[in-house]
Amino acid sequence: MARRLARHGLENVALVHGEALALLATTVPRALARAVHVYFPDPWPKSRHQRRRLFAPGSLDLVLGALAPGGRLAFATDHLEYGEAVAALLAGVPGLALRRLEGGWSEGARTNYEAKYVAEGRTIVRLEATLVGPLRRHPDANLALALGPGGHRAAAPPEDR
C-alpha cells in the first residue's frame, strides 16, 4: 500500500498497522476523517466469533466516530450474510444516510480482492454511508455493551471494599 501511495503521489494518507478497534479507541481522534474505507473485513462467520466483527452494535460508534461531519464510510464484502447485517446495522444509525451500490463503484474495483471476486462472478455487497446529522449511538449499542462479548450479560464490577 505504501508503494502504491508513493507511486500515485498521495501524501494525505496515514497507514497504521494494528487492531482496528483498539486504534480507534485509543489513537484516532474523533471526527478526524472525511472518509473511512473498509473493504472485505473478516466476517467472523461463526456465531461465537461474531463479537470480534468490526461492525457490531457495541463497536459501531468507534468506527463512525472517526468521521467528520459530512464524512463518508465506504464498505464492501463478498460475505453476503455479513453485508446484510452491516447494512441493517448502518440503517439503524440516526444521522447516517445509507446507500447500497448495486452496480459497483463508479471508478471500478477498489482492491485487488474486489477485482478478483468480480472476475470470479461473486456477489459483492457495497455500501456507502454519509454522516448527515449529529452522530448518535446506535439503539442496540447499550444492549450490546450490557450483554458483553458473545451476547452474555456482562459481570458486574466487584464492589469497592
Residuewise pLDDT in 10s, the chain (161 residues): 889 899 999 988 878 888 888 888 898 899 999 999 999 999 999 988 888 899 988 888 899 999 999 999 999 999 999 999 999 999 999 999 999 999 899 999 999 999 999 999 999 999 999 999 887 766 666 544 444 444 444 444 444 33
Q: What is the pLDDT of residue 156?
A: 44
Residue 109: inside a domain? yes
* CATH number of the domain within which 125 lies: 3.40.50.150
* CA distances from residue 18 to 28, 87, 108 in whole angstroms, order as listed: 12, 25, 28
CA 119/CA 148 separation, integer angstroms: 40
Q: What is the pLDDT of residue 140?
A: 67
Residue 58: inside a domain? yes
Residue 94: inside a domain? yes
Task: Answer for the pair 60, 89: CB distance below 8 angstroms, yes or no.
Answer: yes
Residues with catalytic function: 42
